[in-house]
């Protein structure tokens, strides 16, 4: 992008601004326009060319000055850089029709198929009288989310996802937040323009953002593509603005009569208009050169700061493309030569320590995405400090990743040490800086609920469906309450007021009142739900139910020692010790006492009888007239056991409408009797249980 001439806010920008209250409106308008021009230039230097000419602090001062001028004099503009911070949330994404169809591209990972494509191109062109050499514009095949960008008079008017190729979701407000997408084009542009691009998240930004999420106790994104796709479809543009999206543009869909003769000319010109283009794109004179390009890019794949899964070859000459035409689904002038999937071996880009709700610290390796057992993963657990030392794994090492039980990815071994030593486990919590204590191979933050990560996760668990099921206390709301300092410990939830909630961004009196009503409605929960909500290590809803039925009251559970707890059916030595230790903790007792002082009083659990004692049931599908929780409660209140998985200890699998295949198959494998609803109810009545 050419440097704006005579603009005082470009190089060594003037930051000694006149007080706003002394400015005339005309002066303010001129200054605002100069600031917009300068900020667009700095955005392009930073986000497109990766070559900034001023410091971040100077940029922030220019941006803040522009915001102040626009607010003070009502100078808002749809093309102002201040529009990138995100607008108001919307209810849903509208569907819009594309200017021209956004077709897919034929592809293969086999060289023979690529050469066959080249033969088809040359044969078809020869048949149509085209006798010039065929050259190819070769570019990376980006692994992101395709978008259509539409400009009128140089101003971004609309952005849409690819969708079904004919119509896509309108994501204009979200795309406005992407700083590598110009809100206003540069140079000599056509009155109307539609281009195709790929929204992505740079690898380094993806790893940094995941690190922040993990340290806050939030779930990280699985891979950059999923993160980009989910972010672009956000209903709240302010959330999109916080995430590090970028966008490469690589095709002109409608040039408004500009008259390009080749795709190479398109590539050069769209860069001049201010779009981010990939500098690996290259013109090759034949298919052999195109294949060499693919092989070179495959070798350089791990060094790129964005994900690609192949290369795309496009016939360069536009007249040749018109002669080749398209099929119903794909152009005949383009082909994707795909890379083989990465399998098992990858590079550790970072190690971050995650803080669980119990304070346990778990090291997580952030990886270059790799396919493991058919699933792309970008993180893997390192379990504990001892395993890090045993493996000798450090940031930058090449490792082999496996999945435990085809579910949890973990680092199995280091294949290539690229750093000296290994990752050093921190001596203090990465979130609250409290000292770290070790219990055998495990490490724990000593900050308790004073640690924001533990507090967030504790509240989320307390309010979750496996806890008290408090609607309105999801991840976003909990983060906001903790960050604003309104909730510093779990009992503070019951001191919230409508006034302080309504004053928060995105809230209002109605949502505030609903949350307080939800909290009030759950002050007398079943004992089992309350025990599950406390987040006792190793205690989920099933174990909580067993303990509640055995002891009946919260006071009885709190007074029980490990030996008494171990006598409960299904509870072993480890779980019994965890429960006893939880209630022996003075901190935990103080939290429970504070909850009770705010009116939270778990209700006594009493068994209706022992008619189903010793019988274990698994349910699959729906039963007429019963909810799943109600039927499980009935079984357990009469001494039976209702579990979620089939094992050799299961007595009956009850099959309702629309059952899952896996539980029926497991029942057959374990020799467990399958019964329908009628047979189940007969069994209950035969044992004296009223239904």
Phi-psi region of 637 (alpha: psi -120 to 50; beta: other; left: phi over 0): alpha
Using CA atoms, how far apart are residues 379 and 508, in angstroms rounded to an integer? 38
Q: Residue with structure tokens 């396919």?
A: 371
Burial of 49 per CB tally in 10 Å (0-12, 13-18, 19+): middle
Residues in Cβ contact with 545 at an 8 Å cutoff, skipping those fewer than 6 apart: 528, 636
Using CA atoms, how far apart are residues 458 and 460, in angstroms rounded to an integer? 6
pLDDT given for residue 597 in this prediction: 94
Burial of 405 per CB tally in 10 Å (0-12, 13-18, 19+): exposed
pLDDT given for residue 174 in this prediction: 92
pLDDT tens-digit map of 486-495: 988 889 999 9
Neighbours of 504 (CB within 10 A): 15
- Domains assigned to the chain: 20-85 (1.10.287.610), 107-338 (3.30.470.30), 345-445 (2.40.50.140), 448-521 (1.10.150.20), 527-597 (1.10.150.20), 616-686 (3.40.50.10190)
Using CA atoms, how far apart are residues 290 and 297, in angstroms rounded to an integer? 11
Confidence tier at 360 by pLDDT (50, 70, 90): confident
Beta bridge partners of 442: 439
8 Å CB contact between 451 and 445: yes
pLDDT given for residue 149 in this prediction: 97
pLDDT tens-digit map of 640-687: 878 777 887 889 999 988 787 778 888 888 888 899 999 999 998 888
pLDDT given for residue 408 in this prediction: 65
The mean predicted confidence, pLDDT, of the chain is 87
pLDDT given for residue 667 in this prediction: 85
pLDDT tens-digit map of 433-461: 889 988 788 888 887 766 777 888 889 88
Strands 345-355 and 398-404: antiparallel
Q: Residue with structure tokens 């010793």?
A: 614
Strands 246-254 and 192-200: antiparallel
8 Å CB contact between 313 and 286: no
Average pLDDT on 347-370 reads: 87
Using CA atoms, how far apart are residues 118 and 127, in angstroms rounded to an integer? 14
pLDDT given for residue 479 in this prediction: 85
Average pLDDT on 608-624 reads: 82
First-residue to last-residue Cα distance in the chain: 77
Mapping DSSP to helix (H, G, I), strand (E, B) and coil, where does residue 633 land?
helix
Confidence tier at 405 by pLDDT (50, 70, 90): very low
pLDDT given for residue 418 in this prediction: 84
Using CA atoms, how far apart are residues 22 and 28, in angstroms rounded to an integer? 10
pLDDT tens-digit map of 235-284: 888 888 888 999 999 999 999 999 999 999 999 999 999 999 999 999 99
Confidence tier at 635 by pLDDT (50, 70, 90): confident
Q: Which residue has the higher pLDDT, 192 or 47?
A: 192
pLDDT above 70: residue 361 = yes
8 Å CB contact between 216 and 455: no
pLDDT above 80: residue 373 = no
Q: Residue with structure tokens 């040490």?
A: 417
Sheet holding 616-620, edge to edge: 641-643, 616-620, 652-655, 673-676
Residues in Cβ contact with 195 at an 8 Å cutoff, skipping those fewer than 6 apart: 148, 149, 151, 249, 251, 252, 253, 270, 275
Using CA atoms, how far apart are residues 115 and 296, in angstroms rounded to an integer? 18
Show the tokens assigned to 87: 């607008």
Strands (E) in 420-474, as ranges, are 436-439, 442-445
pLDDT tens-digit map of 79-132: 888 877 655 555 678 889 999 999 889 999 999 999 999 999 999 999 999 999
DSSP state of 503: T
Q: In this structure, is the dihedral angle defined by the CA atoms of residues 161, 164, 169 and 170, taken in order, positive or negative? A: positive
- Give residue 625's Cα distance to chain centre: 38
Residues in Cβ contact with 686 at an 8 Å cutoff, skipping those fewer than 6 apart: none
Mapping DSSP to helix (H, G, I), strand (E, B) and coil, where does residue 164 land?
coil
pLDDT tens-digit map of 290-327: 999 999 999 998 889 998 989 999 999 999 999 999 98
pLDDT given for residue 86 in this prediction: 57
pLDDT given for residue 633 in this prediction: 75
pLDDT given for residue 104 in this prediction: 87
The catalytic residues are 141
> How far is residue 358 from each of residues 182, 206, 446, 468, 588, measured CA to CA in Å?
46, 27, 10, 18, 11
């Amino acid at each position: 992008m050419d440097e704006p001439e005579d603009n005082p806010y470009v190089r060594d920008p003037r930051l000694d601004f006149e007080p706003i209250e002394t400015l005339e409106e005309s002066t303010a308008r001129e200054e605002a326009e100069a600031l917009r021009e300068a900020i667009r230039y700095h955005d392009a230097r930073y986000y497109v060319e990766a070559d900034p000419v001023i410091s971040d602090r100077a940029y922030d001062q220019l941006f803040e000055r522009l915001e102040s001028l626009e607010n003070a004099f009502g100078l808002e503009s749809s093309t102002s850089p201040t529009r990138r911070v995100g607008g108001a949330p919307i209810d849903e994404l509208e569907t819009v029709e594309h200017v021209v169809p956004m077709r897919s591209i034929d592809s293969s990972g086999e060289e023979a198929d690529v050469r066959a494509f080249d033969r088809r191109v040359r044969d078809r062109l020869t048949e149509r009288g085209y006798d010039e050499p065929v050259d190819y514009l070769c570019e990376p095949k980006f692994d992101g989310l395709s978008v259509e960008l539409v400009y009128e008079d140089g101003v971004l008017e609309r952005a849409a996802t690819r969708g079904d190729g004919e119509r896509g979701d309108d994501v204009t407000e979200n795309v406005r937040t992407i700083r590598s997408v110009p809100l206003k084009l540069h140079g000599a542009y056509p009155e109307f323009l539609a281009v195709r691009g790929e929204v992505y998240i740079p690898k380094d930004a993806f790893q940094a953002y995941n690190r922040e999420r993990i340290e806050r106790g939030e779930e990280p994104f699985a891979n950059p593509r999923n993160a980009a796709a989910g972010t672009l479809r956000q209903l709240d543009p302010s959330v999109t603005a916080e995430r590090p999206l970028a966008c490469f543009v690589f095709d002109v869909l409608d040039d408004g009569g500009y008259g390009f003769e080749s795709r190479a000319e398109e590539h050069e010109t769209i860069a001049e208009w201010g779009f981010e283009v990939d500098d690996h794109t290259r013109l090759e004179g034949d298919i052999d050169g195109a294949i060499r390009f693919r092989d070179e890019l495959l070798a350089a794949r791990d060094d790129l700061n964005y994900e690609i899964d192949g290369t795309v070859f496009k016939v360069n000459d536009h007249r040749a493309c018109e002669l080749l035409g398209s099929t119903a689904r794909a152009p005949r002038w383009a082909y994707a030569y795909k890379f083989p999937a990465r399998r098992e071996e990858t590079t550790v880009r970072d190690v971050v320590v995650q803080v669980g709700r119990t304070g346990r610290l778990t090291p997580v390796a952030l990886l270059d995405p790799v396919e493991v057992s058919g699933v792309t993963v970008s993180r893997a657990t390192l379990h504990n400090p001892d395993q890090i030392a045993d493996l000798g794994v450090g940031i930058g090492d090449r490792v082999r990743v496996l999945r435990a039980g085809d579910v949890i990815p973990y680092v199995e071994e280091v294949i290539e040490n690229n750093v000296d030593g290994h990752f050093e486990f921190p001596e203090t919590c990465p979130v609250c800086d409290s000292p770290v204590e070790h219990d055998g191979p495990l490490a724990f933050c000593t900050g308790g609920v004073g640690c924001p990560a533990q507090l967030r996760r504790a509240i989320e668990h307390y309010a979750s469906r496996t806890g008290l099921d408090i609607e309105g206390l999801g991840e976003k709301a909990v983060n906001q309450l903790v960050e604003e300092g309104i909730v510093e410990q779990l009992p503070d939830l019951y001191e919230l007021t409508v006034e302080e909630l309504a004053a928060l961004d995105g809230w209002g009196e109605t949502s505030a009142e609903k949350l307080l009503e939800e909290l009030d409605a759950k002050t007398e929960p079943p004992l089992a739900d309350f025990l599950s909500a406390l987040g006792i290590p190793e205690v989920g809803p099933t174990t909580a139910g067993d303990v509640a039925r055995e002891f009946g009251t919260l006071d009885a559970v709190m007074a029980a020692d490990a030996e008494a707890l171990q006598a409960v059916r299904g509870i072993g030595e480890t779980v019994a010790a965890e429960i006893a230790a939880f209630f022996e903790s003075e901190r935990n007792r103080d939290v429970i006492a504070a909850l009770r002082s705010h009116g939270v009083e778990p209700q006594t659990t009493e068994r209706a009888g022992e008619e189903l004692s010793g019988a274990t049931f698994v349910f699959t599908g729906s039963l007429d007239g019963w909810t799943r929780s109600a039927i499980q409660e009935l079984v357990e209140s009469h001494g039976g056991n209702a579990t979620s998985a089939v094992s050799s200890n299961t007595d009956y699998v009850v099959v309702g409408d629309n059952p899952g295949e896996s539980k029926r198959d497991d029942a057959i494998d374990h020799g467990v009797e399958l019964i329908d609803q009628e047979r189940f109810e007969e069994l209950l009545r035969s044992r004296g249980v009223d239904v």
